[in-house]
Structure 1
Amino acid sequence: GRLSGIESPAYVYLPPEYFRSAYAKRTFPAVVVLTGYPGTAENLLKGLRYPRTAHERVKAGKAQPMILVMLRPTVAPPRDTECVDIPKGPQTETFFAKDLPEAISQSYRVGKQARNWGIIGNSTGGYCALKIGLHHPDRYAASAGLSAYYKAAEDPTTGDLFHGKQELRDRADLMWTLENRPPSSGSFLVTTSRQGEGNLRSTMRFIDKVKAPAQVSSIVLDSGGHNFTTWRREIPPALEWLSGRLSAQ
């Protein structure tokens, strides 16, 4: 990362169209895909099948070809930085909001406008996706949180994230941001289950607090859980949702 100094490995999925002559001069929308904590990027390929699902959605005519940038939010392992810029510590939000899109745009045929970029994740990755989309609508037009929570965790895995600065703790609280900051642009997708999920009530609160010009959509399953089985059910419609809100040019 040019600004953050963070280095983190990622898998990049390029759709078949990327290599076809008919698309040779075309840019593609890009979606950053985040695991939970601690998670591994391989989970996004194998357990959650993002590339396969994206390919199938395009073949079915349900989505446009998109580049997927898949990595874990844990950029300073084993610490869980909750995708915040930690005073005198890892600048994780800057890495995801600024450095990562810049690096990918320089290496692949990806547009550089917010309408070209989306971000999605599950659990901790879902919180990160929503937070980064909320604070950086100039970079990400669409953000999806699968089984997300809405306030930065603070526990032994995170260490001291805010160094006693309440304004930083407030900023990492999505409900506080929606209540106390001017409405942002951008589109948000949140998922939960009526039975089996611990985030049902907070997800409904988030939906209620999103105000125009922002838009919010939801997937509410009758039953599910905080697990791969549930997320595999939600990923196909989530990718379709992202596809419908991102532009190739």
Structure 2
Amino acid sequence: MSLTGTPFFAAAIVLTAVAVLLPLLLWSRARGPAAVRVAIRASMVVFAQVTAIALVFTGVNREMDFYTSWGDLFGTDGYVTAAPDLGPDGLGGKKAEQVKAEPKVHQAFEAVDGVGGRVEQTELDGKVSGVKGDVLVWLPPQYDDPAFKDKEFPVVELIPGIPGTGKSWFQGLKAHEILEPLMKSGKVQPFILVSPRTMLLGNADTGCANIPGKVNADSWFSVDVRKMVTDNFRATDQARTWGVAGYSAGAYCAAKLAIAHPDRYSAAVSLSGYNDPGQEPSSLVAQDPRMRLAHNLKNVLKTAPKPPAVSLWMSGSEQDGYLSALDLKALAQSPTQVHAEKVPGGHNLDTWSKQLPQTFEWLSKAVKNP
């Protein structure tokens, strides 16, 4: 039975209703010694609490898509098929031109249940990263317009928080529903939106890093997913035509990918992010003090061979991203640009969703048309 399916949700509703009715019908009918009666009544109370919590979790998860399967929830799905040491550039000894020149892999796409619009999904077998996972793609309204039949489009890669799936940006934040009218009106340029699987090792946060022997998450996002897009859609691999955006743990990832790979991205949006990966309790990067320091965004920026030519939009409340943005802005040297935006609201989807018009108007200037 699917975790997000209607049958499971209906079963949760029925069990919760039963749990409410049981004490009403059986509370005074409990028989036996006092200890037995107390145990029976306590069991009914616990059963009611468990079913109520399960119903709330199921309802919220169906709406926000934090977990799309039982394997996601319990961390039993295998998305990492190999994790060799791919070197500092994540290409495994290849040159970017060699990866680009490899034969195109044409993917089969299908509509995504419960999302609507033009969101489609494919299962990508990452040849460089050794990651195999789902990738969601949304095409702007102009993509199939005959007037744009020869046009290539800029791309924004969308990274959710932990827990979260590719559907979180579309079903939780409603990104495509918010941005489509803005693209039609010309306030936001028409972007291809791409949201890859982020949870690759159960509920652990990979920090979008390459960790030899465990996972090559960086190469999954910045190499394999990018090539899939350019192989299958009218998009280029030029950094100036690519942006990346994320919220929470995904915000950290977005900023890090842009800073570390100015040859692949020109801009990043970080919503309620942070600089220190240790702020995410499940961070794999933070388990090693040296790796944690190396992957701190301030250190990533300071140790770059030269100031990366990227623009960063970093927003959040004072204790939820804004102070981190100010710290990074103080370190940035031209041509790196950091915009720090203090916003009201909490660490939640509603706060991030409300920022999409402003941040994508900014991306429309920071990311160039092919």
Do the two structures share a fold, i.e. TM-score over 0.5?
Answer: yes
Match 2:328 to one of 189, 196, 206: 206
Q: Give the match for residue 235 of structure 2.
A: 110
Q: Give the match for residue 54 of structure 1.
A: 179
Match 1:148 to one of 261, 273, 280: 273
Q: Give the match for residue 242 of structure 1.
A: 363
Mark the CA change 1:112 to 1:212 in structure 2 (over 3 Å): closer, same or farther. Answer: same
1:17 match: secondary structure: coil
Q: Which of these two proteins has the greater Rg computed from alpha carbons?
A: 2
Q: Give the match for residue 132 of structure 1.
A: 257
Residue 242 of structure 1 aligns to which amino acid in structure 2? L
Segment of structure 1 superposing worse, 121-130 or 38-47: 38-47
Q: Give the match for residue 190 of structure 1.
A: 314
Query: How far apart are the structure 1 equivalents of 2:144 and 2:322?
Result: 42
Does structure 1 conserve the Cα–Cα contact (< 8 Å) formed by 2:157 and 2:195?
Answer: yes
Equivalent residues in 2 for 1:8-157, closer than 5 Å = 8-153=133-278, 157=282
Mark the CA change 1:47 to 1:216 in structure 2 (over 3 Å): closer, same or farther. Answer: same
Q: Give the match for residue 176 of structure 1.
A: 299
Does structure 1 conserve the Cα–Cα contact (< 8 Å) formed by 2:159 and 2:246?
Answer: yes
Q: Which runs of 5+ in 2 are unaligned?
A: 1-125
TM-superposed deviation, 1:205: 0.8
TM-superposed deviation, 1:145: 0.5
Larger relative helix fraction? 2
Query: How far apart are the structure 1 equivalents of 2:281 and 2:325?
Result: 25
Runs of 4+ in 1 over 4 A off after TM superposition: 162-165
Q: Give the match for residue 89 of structure 2.
A: none
TM-superposed deviation, 1:165: 7.6
Q: What is the RMSD computed on CA atoms of the aligned residues? A: 1.9
Query: How far apart are the structure 2 equivalents of 1:79 and 1:179?
Result: 27
Of structures 1 and 2, the one with the larger relative CO (CA 8 A, separation 6+) is 1
Residue 172 of structure 1 aligns to which amino acid in structure 2? H
Segment of structure 1 superposing worse, 233-242 or 39-48: 39-48
TM-superposed deviation, 1:155: 6.9
TM-score by length of structure 2 reads 0.62
Paired positions, count? 244
TM-score by length of structure 1 reads 0.91
